[in-house]
A and B are shown apart, each in its own frame.
Chain A
């Protein structure tokens, strides 16, 4: 997918054939979060493009049970959740490349297919200890 997939038509096409429902669990904060509003706008826009995508919104200060359940550490945060929570999170405003990554992760969660090689999948399936992966990125 090209980096300029922010166009509504491209996004809609990418999300048109989701095989299963996906929830975007969005965490925000009322005060002191300049990026929460633009992040929410993008989340709602993405959700509007597919009947399979729903949005739940929680407050990182008030909704402590949900914050703990999803292991959220900062805002704005998006958990991409399918039938089960697979542990995929986005921190910050998902624009530019990050919007492409968000859409791709929605497709992954809906399909349940990681797209990784059989060798990689076998190695990963054998993991027994918690592994937390943080990838630092820039939006453009």
Chain B
């Protein structure tokens, strides 16, 4: 998604190395995706579902 849009950044964060972030975002399992610090997506989901959930934060 970051590849397609100049407005999108995407980070992979190694959870075990950043316990402060794990607490901040209440990560209890992986993968867990956090979009703009507010939308959460748990687990691995199909592409179309993932894209629509991420873009739901827009606007």
A69 interface residue, CB < 8 Å from B?
no
User: Which of under 10, 10 to 19, 20 to 34, or 35 or more describes the interface residues of A?
Assistant: 35 or more
Q: Which residues of B contact A91 (CB under 8 A)?
A: 11-14, 17-18
Q: Which residues of A contact B25 (CB under 8 A)?
A: 134, 136
Asked whether B15 lies within 8 Å of A136 as measured between CB atoms, the reply is yes
Q: Which residues of A contact B7 (CB under 8 A)?
A: 127-131
A9 interface residue, CB < 8 Å from B?
no
| Total cross-chain contacts (CB, 8 A) | 148
Q: How far is the CB of A51 from chain B (nearest CB, A)?
A: 22
> Beyond the given A87-B6, A135-B31, could you list 12 further A-B residue pairs with CB under 8 A, ordered by the A residue number?
A86-B2, A86-B6, A88-B3, A90-B12, A91-B18, A124-B4, A127-B7, A131-B9, A136-B27, A136-B31, A138-B15, A138-B16
Docked CA distance A90–B16 (Å): 14
A contact set with B: CB distance below 8 Å = 35, 71, 74, 84, 86-94, 98, 101, 108-109, 112, 114, 116-117, 119-121, 123-125, 127-139
Docked CA distance A119–B55 (Å): 13
Number of interface residues of B (CB under 8 A): 39
What is the interface of chain A mostly: helix, strand, loop, or mixed?
mixed
Asked whether A124 lies within 8 Å of B15 as measured between CB atoms, the reply is no
Q: A89-B9, A91-B18 are in contact. Are A131 and B30 (CB under 8 A)?
A: no
Q: Of all chain A residues, which has the CB nearest B14?
A: A92
Q: A90-B11, A92-B17, A136-B27 are in contact. Are A131 and B59 (CB under 8 A)?
A: no
The residue that B35 contacts in the complex, of A89, A132, A136, with Cβ under 8 A, is: A132
Asked whether A131 lies within 8 Å of B14 as measured between CB atoms, the reply is no
Q: How far is the CB of A86 from chain B (nearest CB, A)?
A: 5
Q: What are 5 A-B contacts with C-beta separation under 8 Å? A: A98-B12, A119-B48, A128-B59, A129-B59, A133-B8
